[in-house]
Amino acid sequence: MLTFFKKYKFFAIFFLILSIIIITVFYQIMIPKKTLKVYQPADVSAELVDTTLQYVKKYHVISDFSLTNQNGKKITQEDYNDKIYVADFFFTTCQTICPIMTDNMVKIQEKLKNDNEILLLSHTVTPEIDSVAQLKKYALEKGVNDSKWNLVTGDKKEIYNLARKSYLVAKDVPYSDNDLVHTENFVLVDKKKRIRGFYDGTDSESIEKLLEDIKILKKE
């Protein structure tokens, strides 16, 4: 018996390794691949969606835009082509949720500083106050990396419509001269300009979930 095993030990080792590989491959195939939901307006609370979009169930994407960042540079959807990005809405004079949101966006920036696939985009909801100079001052105070993160200002109606009709994060009636009521949500957008997740920008656990979901999205 010992002679038999000695004679065929290399074959046995080869068969064992092959079996492990086959089992591993089979196991990986059997495990469902993690994917993120593609959000449509119909999936979101009606108070956050413009009435013209509340029943849309497919094909929703972020609309084209043209805004100005903290360096006076025009920023459009072209700057985010083939990028995954995180978007939010804030204003520099906010003393409630915005400072916490910005601090958490800084943490995301730091975590992903070497990942060229990921960008950040923050829209001011008070463009009449948040000029380019004001945004630049704020960016310097917060440690914003200009190559990674755009703080943008521009036409108030365009910003409002982006919040309400594209990113689905504004609590308000259709556009008026009043300030819109933005939420604390961070929005994860994929390379096809589709919404793939909403996260509480004031909650550390939600930020960790966002970072994990970015990893999943990169593998899709």
Encode the chain (220 residues) as per-residue pLDDT tens digits: 445 445 555 555 665 665 667 665 555 555 567 899 999 999 999 888 888 898 899 999 999 999 999 999 999 999 999 999 999 999 999 999 999 999 999 999 999 999 999 999 999 999 999 999 999 999 999 999 999 999 999 999 999 999 999 999 987 665 565 566 778 999 999 999 999 999 999 999 999 999 999 999 999 8
pLDDT reported for residue 183 = 87
Please say whether the dihedral angle defined by the alpha carbons of residues 7, 13, 14 and 15, taken in this order, is positive or negative.
Answer: positive
Helix 98-111 vs helix 132-142: crossing angle, to nearest 10: 60
Q: Which of 121, 126, 128, 134 is nearest to 70 (CA)?
A: 134
Single out the residue of 103, 149, 152, 164 nearest to residue 124, CA to CA.
152
pLDDT at 14: 60
Q: N- to C-terminal Cα distance for the chain?
A: 52
* Alpha helices (H) along 37-175: 98-111, 132-142, 156-161
